[in-house]
C-alpha cells in the first residue's frame, strides 16, 4: 500500500536528492516499477506547468493527489510496541557489531524483516524500512549543521503580536520564514494559523525570493504535523505533503523547544516583533500593517552582518538565487484547501 507520504518521498528523493530508483527501492521496499511511474509522471506534469502547457488546475491536482488503489481486501498491519522493541534490539545489535569491528556482519533491513517474520510477526518489509528510516532521521537531528550551503535551508515558524487594528486590540498571527544561510527574514500577518494561512505564507515567500530552498524546517505545529505515530515518526499533514510535492522541496521536523535545531527562525520571530512593532503597533487595517512590515523588513535585510563578512541578508539571498529550486506557477491555495 503506497501512501501519500510514500509518494512524496519517492518524488523528493528522485527529483530533488538525485537518488537512483534502485536506491529508493532498497530504502523503502517499494517496487522500482512503481517508483519509476511516480517519478516519470511528476517530471512530465512539472515540465508542462513550467512551460505553461495544459490545464494548471488539473495538472496540479494530478501531481499532488494521493495514490489510488483497491484496499477492499487489504488488511492493515499495525506497527506495535512489541515489534518496534524487536527492531530496536536488532539495531542495537548492529551498533555493538560496529563497535567491536564486525561491521560486515550487521543485519540489513531485509535481514531484520526476515527475522521478524521467522519470529511470527505479521509485518511488511516497507513498514520495517520506514521505521528504521525514521529512527535514523531522529538521530540525525541530534546534530544540525551550523554552516549551510547556498539554497540549502529555510525555516518556518508562527509567532503572534498584539496590534491595534481600526481602534480594536487584536492578537495577530505572524508567519515568519528565515533563510539559514544569510538570515534573510520574510514575514506576513494573518488572523489565524489555519492551513490556508500556512500555505499562503509559503507561496508568498517563494514568490518573494523567486525560488524554493531545498529543505524547509518546522517544529511540531499542528498545520505541519498530522500526528505522532511514534516518538521518532511524525506524520506530516496532507497540506504540507502536497505543497512539498508541488514545489519540490523536502521538509524536516525538529523537536519542540530545541534551539539548536531551529534557532534562526525562533530568534527571527522575537527579532521581527521587537524591531518592527516596538516602533509602531497601531494601524487602520491589517493590509496597512502588512505593508509597514514589508517596508521595515526591507530595511532590516539591508543591514550589513559582521558575522557574514559585512554582507547584507539581501546580498546573500542574491548569491543563493542560482541554487534555488526553479519557481513553479503560483500554487492554487483556495482549490487545494477545498480538496483538503
pLDDT tens digit sequence for 135-192: 776 555 544 445 789 999 999 999 999 999 999 999 999 999 999 999 999 999 999 9
- Both 186 and 267 in a single domain? yes
When divided into structural domains, the chain yields a total of: 3
Report yes or no on 332 lying in a domain: yes
Report yes or no on 146 lying in a domain: no
Query: If pLDDT is split at 50, 70 and 90, which confidence band does 225 have?
Result: confident
Q: What is the DSSP string of 81-97?
A: HHHHHHHHHHHHHHHHH
Give me the chain's average pLDDT, please: 86
Q: Are strands 153-165 and 215-218 parallel, antiparallel or unpaired?
A: parallel
Q: What is the Cα–Cα distance from 170 to 102, expressed in whole angstroms? A: 62
More confident residue, 143 or 79: 79
- Both 114 and 252 in a single domain? no
pLDDT tens digit sequence for 85-100: 889 889 989 888 888 8
Q: What is the pLDDT of residue 248?
A: 95
Report the range of poorest mean pLDDT among 2-6, 288-292, 316-320. Answer: 2-6
Give the number of other CB atoms < 10 A from CB of residue 36.
15
Report yes or no on 320 lying in a domain: yes
- Both 186 and 298 in a single domain? yes
Considering 37, 64, 91, which residue would you say is the last residue of a domain? 64
Structural domain containing residue 274: 153-339
- Both 251 and 274 in a single domain? yes
More confident residue, 207 or 93: 207
- Both 242 and 303 in a single domain? yes
Residue that the C-alpha cell 552582518 belongs to? 305
Global pTM reads: 0.74
Q: What is the Cα–Cα distance from 285 to 248, expressed in whole angstroms? A: 35
Report yes or no on 267 lying in a domain: yes
- Both 8 and 57 in a single domain? yes
- Both 223 and 298 in a single domain? yes
- Both 203 and 85 in a single domain? no
Report yes or no on 299 lying in a domain: yes
Query: If pLDDT is split at 50, 70 and 90, which confidence band does 338 have?
Result: low
Amino acid at each position: 500500500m503506497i501512501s501519500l507520504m510514500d509518494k512524496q518521498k519517492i518524488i523528493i528523493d528522485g527529483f530533488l536528492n538525485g537518488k537512483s530508483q534502485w536506491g529508493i527501492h532498497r530504502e523503502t521496499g517499494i517496487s522500482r516499477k512503481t517508483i519509476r511511474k511516480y517519478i516519470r509522471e511528476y517530471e512530465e506534469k512539472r515540465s508542462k506547468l513550467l512551460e505553461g502547457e495544459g490545464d494548471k488546475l488539473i495538472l496540479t491536482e494530478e501531481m499532488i493527489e494521493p495514490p489510488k488503489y483497491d484496499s477492499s481486501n487489504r488488511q492493515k498491519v499495525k506497527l506495535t510496541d512489541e515489534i518496534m522493541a524487536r527492531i530496536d534490539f536488532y539495531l542495537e545489535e548492529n551498533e555493538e557489531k560496529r563497535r567491536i569491528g564486525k561491521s560486515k556482519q550487521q543485519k540489513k533491513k531485509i535481514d531484520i524483516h526476515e527475522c521478524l517474520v521467522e519470529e511470527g510477526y505479521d509485518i511488511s518489509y516497507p513498514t520495517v524500512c520506514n521505521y528504521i528510516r525514521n529512527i535514523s532521521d531522529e538521530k540525525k537531528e541530534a546534530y544540525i549543521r551550523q554552516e549551510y550551503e547556498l539554497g540549502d535551508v529555510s525555516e518556518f515558524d508562527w509567532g503572534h503580536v498584539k496590534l491595534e487594528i481600526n481602534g480594536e486590540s487584536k492578537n495577530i498571527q505572524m508567519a515568519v520564514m528565515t533563510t539559514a544561510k544569510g538570515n534573510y527574514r520574510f514575514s506576513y500577518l494573518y488572523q489565524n494559523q489555519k492551513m490556508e494561512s500556512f500555505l499562503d505564507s509559503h507561496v508568498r515567500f517563494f514568490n518573494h525570493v523567486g525560488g524554493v530552498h531545498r529543505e524547509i524546517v518546522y517544529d511540531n505545529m499542528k498545520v505541519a504535523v498530522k500526528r505522532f505515530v511514534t516518538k521518532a515518526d511524525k506524520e506530516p499533514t496532507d497540506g504540507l505533503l502536497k505543497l512539498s510535492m508541488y514545489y519540490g522541496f523536502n521538509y524536516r521536523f525538529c523537536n519542540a523547544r530545541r534551539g539548536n535545531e531551529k534557532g534562526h527562525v525562533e530568534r527571527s520571530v522575537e527579532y521581527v516583533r521587537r524591531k518592527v512593532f516596538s516602533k509602531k503597533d497601531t494601524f487602520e487595517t491589517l493590509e496597512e500593517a502588512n505593508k509597514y512590515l514589508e517596508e521595515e523588513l526591507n530595511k532590516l535585510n539591508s543591514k550589513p552582518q559582521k558575522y557574514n563578512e559585512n554582507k547584507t541578508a539581501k546580498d546573500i539571498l542574491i548569491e543563493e538565487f542560482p541554487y534555488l529550486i526553479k519557481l513553479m506557477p503560483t500554487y492554487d491555495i483556495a482549490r487545494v484547501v477545498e480538496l483538503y
